[in-house]
Amino acid sequence: MEMQHVLSADQFSRSDLNHILSRSAEMEEILKKGGSKICDGRILGALFYEPSTRTRLSFETAMMRLGGNVVSETDVNFSSITKGEVIEDTIRMVGGYTDIIAIRTKTKGQANIAAQYSPVPVMNGGDGAGEHPTQSLLDLYTIAKHHRIGDEPLKVAFVGDLKYGRTVHSLAKVLRHFDGVELSFVAPEVIQMPTEYTQAGDNVSYDLSSEILQNSDVIYDTRMQQERFEDMEKFREVRDSFIFTPEIVGQMKSSAILMHPLPRVNEIKQSVDAMPQAKYFEQAQNGVPVRMALIAELLKA
């Protein structure tokens, strides 16, 4: 598999996705044995200009489990960006210090700009309301652990903030590669899936109906992205549109899975966590082997 950067879910072919799934499974086995040293002497630069727990820490853990090291910039207030440095210059510098960069930015498209100026591979850890391609791969890996994706019909319902929730943009693109996948988008109109990510044949709905709850194989819920709303009144109108309680999740098939990229706020009650459908913590855990696989591929390790 030839890959210079990870910037968008658009870049992956079906064969790339199969390769990443298989390499991630290998990494999961390596993790059980305590990790490896294939990235000994290599350094990851983690530049996170928006808050993150899972993405940054799983990238850093992945590099360390491969035997490498990490340098991080996690608070824009302590970055020279605050003095007016442009991202192009920051990336040139960090690319001179490190072997690979993971970056999260507030603005859509900045990971692509970073890649243009970087002397080393760049991984997009989320660019504003744009994409989150590495998340889509760990999401795919999680789905593939529970369903025979591509070999049997699979109904996937995306629920919540589909306009600003970048993880759903990337995952919808990735799922298009697999036969038999049917996508439903469930959101209030003001935060429905942007048309650039939809196709003829998708189901668009403003309510979470019993039919969707009872028939979906995967329900992928997302947080209302308060920080991206320009109008707080609109945010207040939609923020509690869908709340997953044990009664709601109890309507799902026993084989169905409930996913969420996390963090959740109040859209999934903690009382759901012990239910068999709840897979969001397992999903977050899968970030480590999948990001190990991506780092190893990009560094040809």
Enzyme catalytic residues: 54-55, 83, 104, 132
Smallest distance from ligand CP to CB 280, Å: 10
User: What is the distance, to the nearest Å, from the Cα of residue 81 to the centroid of all Cα atoms in its chain?
Assistant: 25
Smallest gap from residue 264 Cβ to ligand CP (A): 10
Q: How far is the CB of 283 from ligand CP (least distance, A)?
A: 9
Instruction: List beta partners, residue 278.
Output: 258
Shortest Cβ 150–ligand CP spacing (Å): 24
Cβ closest to ligand CP, residue 127 vs residue 297 = 127
- Closer to ligand CP by Cβ: residue 113 or 259: 259
Please, what is the minimum distance in Å from the beta carbon of residue 56 to ligand CP? 6
- Token pair, residue 63, equals 């590099």
Q: Say how far apart CA 276 and CA 257 lie, in whole Å.
A: 8
d(CA 273, CA 263): 14
Least distance CB 54 / ligand CP (angstroms): 4
Q: Which is nearer to ligand CP, 213 or 286 (CB)?
A: 286
Would you say 128 or 212 has its CB closer to ligand CP?
128
Closest to ligand CP by CB, 155 or 166: 166
Q: What is the DSSP string of the chain?
A: ---S-B--GGG--HHHHHHHHHHHHHHHHHHHTT---TTTT-EEEEEESS--SHHHHHHHHHHHHTT-EEEEE--GGGSGGGGT--HHHHHHHHHHH-SEEEEEESSTTHHHHHHHH-SS-EEEEEETTS--HHHHHHHHHHHHHHS-BTTB-EEEEEES-TTT-HHHHHHHHHHTTSTTEEEEEE--GGGPPPGGG--TT-EEESS--HHHHHH-SEEEE----GGG-S-HHHHHHHTTS--B-HHHHTTS-TT-EEE--S--SSSB-GGGTTSTTB-HHHHHHTHHHHHHHHHHHHTT-
Closer CB to ligand CP, residue 75 or residue 85? 75
Which chain residues interact with ligand CP by CB under 6 A?
52-55, 126, 132, 135, 261-263
